[in-house]
Structure 1
Amino acid sequence: MPEQRARTHHRNRVANTFSDEIGAMLEGELSDPRIAPSYVTDVVLAPGGKSARIFVAVHGDENEEASTLEALTAARGYIRSQLRERMGVRHVPELTFAIDRSERVTGRMDELLDRIRKRDQKRHSQPPETAPAKS
């Protein structure tokens, strides 16, 4: 049975609010030094609303990503309590944090595609080699 449109709309609104509020917390409210400069890229709320996965993009290397993920996991209870207080809701879903590496992968794909384009341009700009004349 298809899910009702209103329920989907509500879940999307809640996910957007989570994204905004957690993003604000990442910008300065969480004082853990392990948290590198980062931002929320996506929030996926489970259909029942009991859990949410928050994707975070971190500016830095893999060590900073790992420390940021560890710090966010440690601060999960605080973040949930702040969301409950700010949104004025009774239940806040269980939060799971994940590192979003899509920008890094996209950048690498763009780099590889640029290399292919340059190689193709180089091939097409070279004059064709002429076969040696038969004597």
Structure 2
Amino acid sequence: MAKAFSRNDRVSEQMRRELADLLMFEIKDPRVQMVTLTGVEVTGDMAHAKVFYAAQKNSKGLQAGLEKAAGFLRSQLGKRMMIRTVPQLHFVYDESIDRGMHMDKLIHEALSDTPAQE
């Protein structure tokens, strides 16, 4: 019987939880205070991890703050997780929330422009 989740999926989910905890309680940089981690994708060899994040307003300062904290976050992940290789962290802005809000706005505008049906 096949496993429900692969090892990469389990590592990715635990890494997302640990990173969220670290960003909330350990990082004191004001640029990264209001960030939400939406997902983590780990490569098959566990060498690299894409960390997807969303924020109220995306700014270059936020990306720079996350990249600056990457070394500290990686070292803390090594202490918290029981994996042999701690992946390099690459932060990617997740545009899906912005895209979804834009689509919702377009749908709302389209429905409000149509005349009421009897």
Do both share a fold (TM > 0.5)?
Answer: yes
What is the CA distance between 1:93 and its match in structure 2? Answer: 0.9
Aligned partners of 1:93, 1:62: CA distance in 2, in Å?
24
What is the SS of the residue equivalent to 2:30? coil
Aligned partners of 1:100, 1:32: CA distance in 2, in Å?
21
Flag structure 2 segments of 5+ consecutive residues without an equivalent. Answer: none
Alpha-carbon spacing, 1:96–1:85, altered in 2? closer, same or farther (3 Å): same
What is the SS of the residue equivalent to 1:39? strand
In the comparison of the two structures, how many residue pairs are matched? Answer: 116
What is the CA distance between 1:22 and its match in structure 2? Answer: 0.4
Partner of residue 86, structure 2: 92
Give the residue type in structure 1 aligned to 2:48.
Answer: S
Partner of residue 116, structure 1: 110
2:48 aligned to 38, 48, 51, which one? Answer: 51
What is the CA distance between 1:26 and its match in structure 2? Answer: 1.6
What is the SS of the residue equivalent to 1:17? helix
Give the residue type in structure 1 aligned to 2:69.
Answer: A
1:9 has 2:3 as partner: no
What is the CA distance between 1:124 and its match in structure 2? Answer: 4.2
Give the residue type in structure 2 aligned to 1:43.
Answer: V
Aligned partners of 2:85, 2:46: CA distance in 1, in Å?
9
**Larger Rg: 1 or 2?**
1
* Superposition misfits of 4+ residues, deviation over 6 angstroms: none
Q: Does the 8 Å CA contact 1:36/1:58 hold for their aligned counterparts? A: no
Q: TM-score, normalised by structure 2?
A: 0.88
What is the SS of the residue equivalent to 2:89? strand
Give the residue type in structure 2 aligned to 1:51.
Answer: H
Higher-RCO chain (CA-CA 8 Å, sequence separation at least 6): 2
Partner of residue 29, structure 2: 32
What is the SS of the residue equivalent to 1:34? helix
Flag structure 1 segments of 5+ consecutive residues without an equivalent. Answer: 126-135
Partner of residue 21, structure 1: 18
Q: Identity of paired residues, percent?
A: 28
Give the residue type in structure 2 aligned to 1:62.
Answer: N
What is the CA distance between 1:90 and its match in structure 2? Answer: 2.7
What is the CA distance between 1:123 and its match in structure 2? Answer: 6.2
